[in-house]
Every structure is written in structure tokens, then in C-alpha cells.
Amino acid sequence: MAENEPKILSFLCNWCSYGAADLAGVSRMEYPPNIRVIRIPCTGRMNPKFILAGLRQGADAVWVSG
Amino acid sequence: MKNLLEHTGIEPGRLHFSWVSSAESTKFVEVVKKITEEVKALNSNKAYAKTKPKVD
Amino acid sequence: MITFKLNGKTVQGEEGQYILQVAEKYGVDIPTLCNHKALEPAGMCRVCTVEVFDGRRTRFVTSCNYPIWEGMEVNTETELVREGRKLIVELLLARCPEVPAIQKLAKKYGITEIRFHKEADTCILCGLCTRVCEKMGARAISLTGRGVDMKVDTPYHLNTDACFGCGACASLCPTGHITLEKINREFTTRTLQLIPSEYDMGLRGRKPIYVPYAQAVPNIPAIDRDVCMHFKAGGCQICKEFCGVNAIDHSMQDEFIELEVGAIVLAPGFKPYDPSRLDFYGYHRLPNVVTSMQYERILSASGPFGGHLVRPSDHKEPKKIAWFQCVGSRDQNRCKNSYCSSVCCMYAIKEAVISKEHAGKDLDCAIFFMDMRTPGKEFEKFYNDARDRHGVRFIRSRVHTVDPAPDGHSLAIRYVMENGETVSEIFDMIVLSIGLETPPEMIELAGRLGVELTPGNFCRTDAFHPVNTSKEGVFVCGAFQGPKDIPQSVIDASAAAAAAQELLAGARGTMARTKEVVPEINIAGERPRIGVFVCKCGTNIAGVVDVPAVRDYAAGLPYVEYAADNLYTCSQDTQETMTQIIREKNLNRVVVAACTPKTHEPLFQETLINAGLNKYLFEMTNIRNQDSWVHKNNPRLATDKAKDLVRMAVAKVALMEPLKEIELPVNHTTMVIGGGISGMAAAKSFALQGFETHLVEKSDRLGGQALNLYHTATGEGVQEKLCEMIKSVESDKKIHLHLNTTITAVEGFVGNFKTTLSSNGNQEVLEHGAVILATGAAPYVPDEYAYGKDPRILTSLELDKKFIANDPMICNLKSAIFIQCVGSREPQRPYCSRVCCTHSIENALELKKRNPDMNIYILYRDIRTYGEKEYLYKQAREKGVIFIRYSVDNKPRLEIRKEGLAVTVTDHVLGRPIEILTDLVTLATAVVPYKDEALANFFKVSMNDDGFFIEKHAKLGPSEFSTDGVYLCGMAHYPKPIDESIAQAKAAVSRAVTLLSKASIFSSGTIAQVDPTKCAGCGVCVAICPFSAPSIIDKGRFAGKAEINPVLCKGCGLCEASCRSGAIHLKGFDTDQIFSQIFELNAAM
């Protein structure tokens, strides 16, 4: 992976942001291809350990969106 | 959480939270763009990442 | 198949293909200006020139129309080709120096100066326009003239009706030579305009082939025959060539389908009022005067301006916006709609608040209104917040003049204030709060069905049968029954379904078919054998992501036994192939990389079930909506992303285990708590649908508050109908009455409740599957206006009692005063009680009927006779009832005197206090809920600040609770009149029957489970769960530990995240599964 193409680990709520991401696709919008999405049932599912693990695995950032 | 990360040497810009409803695709795209730009400005994350073991 | 060499590489193409087509397939870029996939190539622009070697000599040919042949050698980027192309581009640039497309090409070929004579043309004579015009079947334009005089034109340079104004030429023109204006000016005799998008209320155009809106169901495009060129001119059909799956068939005809049904529900909705009929508002004439429906689209993120709040004329952000209420409503003179449209006040406030949230506090929002009508649940609070917190201006006035302002965009308005002063103000935009109307075609259909309409052309119903039309077996719901908002429409819809089911209960389930069950293969102990299916989705994915590369990559991942790509993974035949492959290859886990699991996961899970696999041994990853569609200009990174996503999914699926969906039987007995109108209506509906029902009432008789009511708003006598209703409930064998009974304990959950009833010291435990709370509300007992100190001061219900008893006292009155909002819309009780305005006006009319000479005054704050109740208000004014508005900080004062009751009120027109001496004062008192905390705790439901129960969803779930199996209706939800109470009672029954019609219910597989050996019994999960799923076990080996009821768990994961001991596992999204995805983030690590 090139130095300027960071990976952003993203936790998206199935009902909110994941839906928005789908709709962005349906609307053929464009955005940078740097996010890697993990679908979670609800942001309540988030555990701080996931964030730490992501960063430890070399994610350049972690994004949690409800 | 952000404070904790900062304490351990991770820039706060590496953790983002947002709320986007399932109809707000425009906002979703805006947030992705914003975060990507911010993270690009930070360079890659070296603080925590395990280094690859050298195998000969 | 023809094999030849392209830039030294061996390539293959089909017989009859041209070089350009094959080059495109192999990703070799050849510039062209005059080529279009759907048109025969013509070799006009010459930019696509390439070099062909036939074994003996090299030739220059135009690649777009040069057919391929076996053994040829083509070079697209030799020095000579580049030089030749450069010359061609330079000549084109000399002809059209200002055309961006050619400037871009020139830049690419390094042309800095033009050596030829420059012209000022914009047409390169590529002939795309004439060829597409011919293809359309119109043949309106052609290349006319010879040599240097050649140009695109119509015959004799005359505007022609052969041109349909379809705009195809303009859309293909590479240089911008043909524009819509040019077509209107020079080609067509018709008027060319954008096809207005219905969804965007004409603020945008749409195509002849279109999906009405992004969330449409089914989400399949349709061809609009009225504008499609194929249906107009016979040609085109270009869409057919682009459709990869041959789905387009222009010969399809409308079908007539005959159905035999037992009941019909009419839900045709409404048509927004068209304000162009009221010319003084300038709608259509002035672009910045928009309707509220258009404004909704302007505010929407998917709207014409991408959610950016700008005005249509110049796309500038407005600084001042005005809303005009009652456009097309409450207006007998100018539009014949004398009813109130019920929803406009609230939506205008909502739009104003959202606008301020969008544009910031400095945006000035002003709402011009007559009465502010916010009688819905939580609406008054929203109104107060809009005024006090958001600073929305509310101006009680009707604007009489709208003129364009001198800048040509803004609007100058004039209106008269209450004190008589005329005010002029300039706004950047005006929103017309348009009302609701029944569409003319529905009026006509009603005539054909034999369904009676009201004076406002809504469907006629009566208060005790709110969803029955005048025709038996035909039911109605939504705005066709009367103007109403979403919650009320949803209530009606469920009610209409219940009413139809009452009729058809015997037929329930008779037409259901059962599915054959494939036995599930036991995979315990097997190592994962994963199958990965990568979908191309036609070109939707494959056009961007390198699907074969992703497939090959997937094949090399751990535990992957099989990887394939499919053109359309979701197609019927692929599903069958998948089932076969799963069986043949003995796969025990499946990953599908395709579109979104939100729409397609159930489909693929079904395939797993058919193959004998547990449906949770599946993971779907989204490489379309969240990859190929959004990164189309970055195929390399999109492919990388797809690989990452597939790897993460493979890692997760390896850890998936078969999950059980727990089956629980449903008890088909029901319980209704509360014996008022709502409770009785609910019990009766249950009984009619065949369910044994326990009706629990704490007092000694049925009827509730309705026992005190005289008339409904439509003038029906309440007592008579109520008696009938009580009798029919009492005599119903399926209804078991429990009078003088309270509830002392509740155990269990959805489908299996155990409720303890207590009556005169006797306890009884009943088992039931569902429960409806219909506990109602009580009238407020006022301590203001000297209530209780004089027999001439009554509450509304006390006056009704006098009517019922035919008390002679009321016939001998000379005057009467009604005081509105007693105990409502006050700081301690901020909500509007919804029913009191109508009730007082109705009673005023009754007094007038008995004694037309009586002087009647109604002292009010806003008259809220929503819907067709507005007619009563109008009638009362016509009959001489005097309405005097007072303000909340200057309330009327009442003094008891010997000669009568003296009421002093400050009149809003005169602006000074007036004193009225009267014989009777009626206080329109608030409706107050019982706030039964014990009952709320028993069924784990909650109440709002005012003490009304909180429904599952304010708009979409008004008749049920978040706690499964518990439903809600009547005034315990919010104050409402009889018709709305009965509708909600039926709605609650309808919701309950969706549960009760099943023999058993299944939990989801993706639910939380407690490991009791790790659980510390701290109770955090019990406190945090919004669905009351966890509880502490009270006896047995694991007493004191938590357990989670699988039926109540919605799988949100809140408890797992909150569990301090790590004892809770959320199946399907377990910690190790999410970690496995995280660990696979970077393959190299």
C-alpha cells in the first residue's frame, strides 16, 4: 500500500451509516477508497478494544459511525 | 477514548466518531472525504503497529 | 472469433466488430469524437485513426469503422499515428478554437499554436446528431450543403414538426454546438422542455426511463411511454442495446388482471393543492415562490440542490424565508376547500426549524398563519421550541400582496398586523403551505365503487366505524378519509386491515402454502471449507473492480475451497448452481462479495438453507454499493479494497457457527386493559377475529369517559351507540369481562404472558399471548376560574351531562361563555388536549339550536378544528357565536356576582378589556392521563413527561410498544376523539394479530447469550437493554446470574459492550469474529 493511501478501519451501524453508505452507492457519489467497513448491528456493539486492535493492526485511523 | 490514545502516543486525528442517518448519503460522503484528508495529513500510523517479523 | 495483433499483443474479437470496439474491450485507449456505442460508426472526425499492417504495407484507417480481420496487425500509438492525429486535432482546433473537448485533445497532443486559419465554428460535422436523429425515427435534421457550406440543419432551414424536441442530438453533441436553446430556436416547432421529475416536484428533470426515487419498491426502472421516443417516432430502442440482460421489451402491453377478493381497502392518498390557481401568490410566475412539497425536496440531501439550502432562481442562500399557511385550505372563497388540511402548521414549523439547523441561526424564518394548529402528540412542545429556542417568527396575519422585489429575485410582501398597521417586508423566498385534496380520479373511482363522499370530497365514515365506507366490505385509510398526518394514517391503515380481517377471519391461512424443508447438515467439528462467490453484477462491479483478480485472490485465502465469479450472483439460475456447488464441494461456509447485505443477505441465506446449510454460516461483503459504485475513477484501489473486504469476510465466516432460531409457542388468548370505548373496540375486534379475550376494567361498568359524552363532532348521539357497543361486548362469548379488577403482577413476555388479576380480594392468574393497554385518561379538575364555587361554572363534560339529562336549566339561559385551554398549553401541562375546541364549538351550536337568541362567546387561544371539523367552526361563526382570542399571559378573569358571572377578557382586535355578564361558564378542561406507573412497570413500557405512554415509533409504530407483545390505543396514548380512539383500538388489534396469527415465533439467530460461569450478576445488562431482554435468574444453579430472553433480544450488542466480565456473546457479531476482521485489515502484517 502506498504511503499516501491510508487505511481507515470503519465500524458502521447497520441501520444508519451502513445504509447511508449503500445509498451513496445507489446515488453514484464518489469518495476516497480508503475506508474498510466492518458492519456492526449497532454502535452500542462497539468495544474500545476494537479501536485499539485496529490501530495495532496498522490501521491509520478508526472511524465509528452510528 | 481520544484522551487515552493521545496519552499513549496516538494522534487524536486517528479516531473519528460521527452520526449519519441512513438517508444522509451526502453527509456520509462528506465525512469520508474529511476523515481521509485529515488522516492523509497525519502520514501512516507507526506508533502501535506491530512491525513485520524479519524472516530470512 | 477473429484473432489479430493490437499493439503487438494477440487479441480476439467477434466477426463484424470494428477495431475500436475490440480495443475498448482490451482497455486500449483510442481517442474519438464521433463514435457512440448505439450508432453505426461513420469515421467522421478522423481522430481515431490507427495504423493497420496487412503483411505487405501499412495503411491509416479510422478504427471506429474499420472491421477486424484474421491476422491483421494494428498499432494505435506509433509515432506516425500520433503525428497524424496531432494534425487532425490541430485542424479541428483551427475550425473550433473555443470548444473545450477539442482544447483538451489538443493539450493531450501538445498543440500550443495553430498554424492554420482560425475560424469561429463550434461544429465539427461529426454527424452524431444526424445519425441519432435518424435512429430516433425522427429524421428531422441532416447534414445539408456541400463542401465548406456543409452544416447540420433541418430541410429548408425551417422549424419542423418532424423534430419531437427529444434532445438526443444535444445530449450526444461532443462540442456543445447543439443546445436545447438551438433546438427550440432552429429545429422544432414544438416546445422542448425538461421532463419534470415528479419526485422532485418539477425542480429537476428526469429521463424517459426512470426509477421514481432511490428507495422505490420495486427498485426497477420504468419507461414513460408518453415521452419515450420509441413510442413517439418508432425508432431509438438504444436502451435495449445497453441493457446487459435483455430486460427491455417495448412490445409489452398493459395487462388487465381480475382478482377475487373478500374486502377492499382504499388508500389512494391525496394530491397536494396546486397554488397556481391563486395568481396573487405568483406561483410559477415568480421562481422563488415554491410550494411546501418543493421546499421539502430543496431541504432533502437527495434533492435538486443536494441538500444545500438555496433558492431556485439564482442558487443563492436565502437570508429570509416566509411561510404562508392555509394555501388551498380553510378558504371557501378562492378555492372551495373550506376544510383545514391538518398537517400544514406542523410541517411549516418543522421546515422552518430544519432550515435554521441547515443555514444557521441568522436565517430569518417567518410563518404567517391564522390559527396555529399543533394538536398532535409532542407537537405543542415543538411549536414552543421553534418560537422560543429557534427564534422562528410567528405572525398572525394573511399576506395580501406579493410582488417581485427590485433585484428581480426576492419578493416584497405586504400584510396587515392585528393592530391594523400595514407592514411591508422583503423575503428571499416564499414557501406556500399547500393543503391536501382528493385527486379528481379518486372522486371518480369513489363514484364507480358507490362510496359516499363528504362535502370536502373525502370518504364518508362515521365515528364508531372510522374505517368503514358507506359500501360494505370496502374500507378506507389515510388522507382519503380526511386530511391527516403520518401517525394517524398509519393507525388508520392498521385499523382498515383489522376491519377487513374481522370480515375474513375464517379464511385466514387458507391460501398459505408451506415450503419443503431441506434437512440441515451437521457441520460440527469440521474444519471450515469456504466457498467465495464474487459477483460482477453485469458491469456494475466488473466495470470497475477486476473481478477475476479478486476471485483468484480469494481462492488463495486460508480455508477457501472454492472461488468463482458470477455475472449476476442473485439470479435464479446462479442460486441453483450455488446450491449444487455447496453440495458437490462439501462447502460449510459461504462468502458472497456483491451488493449490500441489507437487501440481498436474506436471498443468499435462503440458498444456504436450500443447500442444507445453516443460514448463519454466511457472510456477505459489499463490493458494489460501497466499492465499485463509489470509486469508479480508481479501479486499482477499488480492486485492492475489494480484496481487503473479501479477506475480512473470509476470516469472519471461518468463525461463524450454526445458530439456532429458538421456537416459542404463542398463546392465542389476549388481554385488553381498560373498558372504555378504545378497550371495548379492541376486545370486540379480537373476538370477531376469533381470539378469546379478557377485558379488564377497574371500575364497575364499561364505557369509560364516553358515558359523559353527548354528541360526536359529526352530530351522532354517543349514548345510544355506546349502549349498543356495551351490549355487544357483554353478550360476546369470546369476551370475558373482569369488572372491578386491577392487575397485581405480570410475568412472562411476548406470546406467553402470565398476568395476575385481583378483584374484591380474589386473585386469578391468566395466561395470554398479547396485551393492549387502553387505560384512557380523565378530565382535569380545574382550580382556576372559581370552579366548584358556583353551580353555573361547569366543565365541558358536565355540560354534556346536562344535555344528556335534558336539564331544563340550559334552555333558560340568555348567554354562555366557553373558556378554552383550561389546564392545557400551560407550563405544567404543555400539550394541547386536541378535542376541546371541537367539543366547545359543538356544544355552542347545540345551545344555539335549543335557543337561537342566546349570546355565546368562545374565549380561545387558537381554534384547532382540524380536518373537516373546520366546518363546525365556520357554522358557529355564521350562527353568531362570538370568538374572542386571549393570550396566555392575559387570561380571562371571572367574578361571581349575584346577577351573573362576570368574565373580563382583553379582546385582540380592540386591544382593551371587555366585561361580559353571563349565566353559564363552561371550562374546556384538559385531558389528563392516569400515569399508572405500576402498570407501566409490569409491562416494561415507558411514559413521557406528560404521563402518556410512549409508543414504539411516533410515526410508524403509534399503536404498539417497543416491548414485543404489548400494544396501545386510545387516550392513554394521547387525547383523541371517539373515531380516532376506535381506529387506534383496531390498529392495536391489527398489530397484535400479526403475532397471534402465528402458531409460534422464532427468535433471530444473531442474539446475545450469557455465559453464566463468567457472569458476575452485576445487572448492568438488565439496566441497559432497551428491549428488557436480560433478567437475573432467581432460582436454580445459576441464581443471581443474568440470562437473556432470546425472543426479546434484538441483537443490538449493547449488553455485550457493557458487560464487564466478558460473559455476554453476541452471536454472529461476536468479539472474536469482529477481531478476526480487524486482524485481516492489513494482509502484509
The whole-number average pLDDT for the span C426-451 is 97
Flag whether C620 is in a domain: yes
Q: How many domains does chain B have?
A: 1
Asked if A58's CB is within 8 angstroms of C627's CB, the reply is: no
Give CA separation, C974 vs C705, C836, C875, C946, in Å: 14, 13, 27, 10
> Distance between CA C487 and CA C484 in Å, rounded?
8
Name residues whose C-beta falls within 8 Å of residue C388's C-beta, 6 or more positions apart in sequence: none
pLDDT of residue A1: 43
> Distance between CA A55 and CA B10 in Å, rounded?
9
> Distance between CA C623 and CA C645 in Å, rounded?
8
pLDDT in tens, C773-801: 999 999 999 999 999 999 999 999 999 99
Q: Is the same domain home to C787 and C911? A: yes
pLDDT in tens, C944-1002: 999 999 999 999 999 999 889 999 999 999 999 999 999 999 999 999 999 999 999 98
Three-class SS state of C908: coil
Asked if C631's CB is within 8 angstroms of A30's CB, the reply is: yes
pLDDT at A2 over 60: no
Nearest of C577, C604, C568 to residue C589 by alpha carbon: C604
- Output C193 or C960, whichever has higher pLDDT: C960
Q: Which amino acid is at C897?
A: R
Q: Is the same domain home to C414 and C276? A: yes
Average pLDDT across chain C, whole number: 93
pLDDT interval class at C1083 (50, 70, 90) = low
Flag whether B55 is in a domain: no
pLDDT of residue C370: 95
Give the count of alpha carbons within 13 A of C1021, CB side only: 34
pLDDT interval class at C246 (50, 70, 90) = confident
Mutate which: A26, A29, A30, A52, vs C, most C CBs within 10 A: A26
User: Which DSSP string corresponds to C913-951?
Assistant: EEEEEES-EEEEEPEEE---HHHHHHTT--B-TTSPBPP
Flag whether B20 is in a domain: yes
pLDDT in tens, B1-56: 677 777 777 778 888 999 888 878 888 999 999 999 888 888 777 665 554 444 44
- Whether the CB-CB separation of C301 and B27 falls below 8 Å is answered with yes
Asked if B50's CB is within 8 angstroms of C301's CB, the reply is: no
ipTM of the complex: 0.94
> Distance between CA C426 and CA C318 in Å, rounded?
11
pLDDT of residue A15: 84
Q: Rg of the Cα trace of chain C?
A: 36
pLDDT at C524 over 90: no
Flag whether C261 is in a domain: no
Please tell me if residue C1004 touches chain A, with a CB cutoff of 8 Å: no
Three-class SS state of A12: strand
- Whether the CB-CB separation of C903 and C774 falls below 8 Å is answered with no
Asked if B1's CB is within 8 angstroms of A56's CB, the reply is: no
Give CA separation, C1082 vs A7, B41, C618, C894, C1071, in Å: 9, 20, 22, 79, 19
pLDDT of residue C518: 87
> Distance between CA C362 and CA C309 in Å, rounded?
14
Q: Is the same domain home to C784 and C770? A: no
Name residues whose C-beta falls within 8 Å of residue C168's C-beta, 6 or more positions apart in sequence: C132, C133, C135, C136, C229, C236
- Please write down the HEC assignment for all residues of C191-228: CCCCEECCCCCCCCEECCEECCCCCCCCCCCEECCCCC
pLDDT at C510 over 90: no
Last residue of a domain, one of C905, C926, C947: C926
pLDDT at C1055 over 60: yes
* Closest residue, chain A, to C1051 (C-alpha): A41
Owning domain of residue B12: 2-36
- Whether the CB-CB separation of C975 and C928 falls below 8 Å is answered with no
Cell numbers 416536484: residue: C201
C337 φ/ψ sector (left φ>0, alpha ψ -120 to 50, else beta):
beta
Asked if B27's CB is within 8 angstroms of A29's CB, the reply is: no
- Output C1084 or A53, whichever has higher pLDDT: A53
Q: Is the same domain home to C420 and C278? A: yes
pLDDT of residue C1085: 36
Map out the domains of chain A as residue ranges.
Answer: 8-65
pLDDT at C731 over 60: yes
Which chains neighbour A (Cβ–Cβ under 8 Å, 3 or more pairs)?
B, C
pLDDT of residue C768: 97
Give contacts of B40 with chain C, Cβ < 8 Å. Answer: none
pLDDT of residue B52: 46
> Distance between CA A16 and CA A35 in Å, rounded?
17
Name residues whose C-beta falls within 8 Å of residue C633's C-beta, 6 or more positions apart in sequence: A30
pLDDT of residue C916: 96
Nearest of C633, C627, C559 to residue C593 by alpha carbon: C627
Please tell me if residue C744 touches chain A, with a CB cutoff of 8 Å: no
Flag whether B22 is in a domain: yes
pLDDT in tens, C334-368: 888 999 999 999 999 999 999 998 898 899 999 99
pLDDT at C691 over 90: yes
Run of H or E including A45: none
Please tell me if residue C217 touches chain B, with a CB cutoff of 8 Å: no
Q: Highest mean pLDDT range out of B36-40, C327-331, C1031-1035?
A: C327-331
Owning domain of residue C993: 665-778+929-1001
> Distance between CA C962 and CA C965 in Å, rounded?
9
Q: Is the same domain home to C742 and C684? A: yes
Nearest of C208, C263, C211, C215 to residue C231 by alpha carbon: C208
pLDDT in tens, C651-681: 999 999 999 888 889 999 999 999 999 999 9
Three-class SS state of C1053: coil
Give contacts of B36 with chain C, Cβ < 8 Å. Answer: none
Local structure of residue C427 (DSSP, 8 states): E
Name residues whose C-beta falls within 8 Å of residue C628's C-beta, 6 or more positions apart in sequence: C537, C540, C541, C543, C544, C545, C638, C642
Nearest CB neighbour to A44, from listed C598, C632, C1057: C1057
> Distance between CA C4 and CA C11 in Å, rounded?
6
pLDDT in tens, C558-604: 999 999 999 889 888 899 999 999 999 999 999 999 999 988 999 99
Q: Residues of chain C with pLDDT > 70: what percent?
A: 100
CA terminus-to-terminus distance, chain A:
28
Please tell me if residue B44 touches chain C, with a CB cutoff of 8 Å: no
Q: Which three cell numbers stand for residue C1013?
A: 460461569
Q: How many CB atoms neighbour CB C79 within 10 A?
A: 9
Residue environment code for C429-464, b if the CB has 16+ CB neighbours within 10 A, otherwise e: bbbbbbbbbbeeebeeebeeeebebbebbbbbbebb
Name residues whose C-beta falls within 8 Å of residue C825's C-beta, 6 or more positions apart in sequence: C380, C831, C832, C861, C888
Which chains neighbour B (Cβ–Cβ under 8 Å, 3 or more pairs)?
A, C
Nearest of C90, C94, C64, C92 to residue C76 by alpha carbon: C64
Flag whether B43 is in a domain: no
Run of H or E including C958: none
Which of these ranges, C207-221, C257-271, C428-442, C898-912, has the smallest mean pLDDT? C207-221
Q: Is the same domain home to C414 and C310? A: yes
Q: Residues of chain A with pLDDT > 70: what percent?
A: 94
Q: Is the same domain home to C605 and C749? A: no
Flag whether C206 is in a domain: yes
Q: Residues of chain A with pLDDT > 90: what percent?
A: 35
The whole-number average pLDDT for the span C487-516 is 92
Q: Is the same domain home to C37 and C178? A: no
| Sign (positive or negative) of CA dihedral C556, C561, C566, C568 | negative
Local structure of residue B47 (DSSP, 8 states): S
- Whether the CB-CB separation of C216 and C197 falls below 8 Å is answered with no
Burial class (CB in 10 A: 0-12, 13-18, 19+), C870: buried
Q: How many domains does chain C have?
A: 7
Flag whether B24 is in a domain: yes
Flag whether B50 is in a domain: no
Nearest CB neighbour to B32, from listed A4, A35, A59: A35
* Angle subtended by helix axes C486-504 and C677-688, to nearest 10: 40
The whole-number average pLDDT for the span C87-114 is 91
Q: Is the same domain home to C760 and C822? A: no
Q: Is the same domain home to C415 and C363? A: yes
Nearest CB neighbour to C301, from listed B24, B49, B52: B24
How far is A40 from chain B, CA to nearest CA, in Å? Answer: 14
> Distance between CA C339 and CA C1060 in Å, rounded?
59
pLDDT of residue C929: 96
pLDDT of residue C216: 82
Asked if A41's CB is within 8 angstroms of C644's CB, the reply is: no
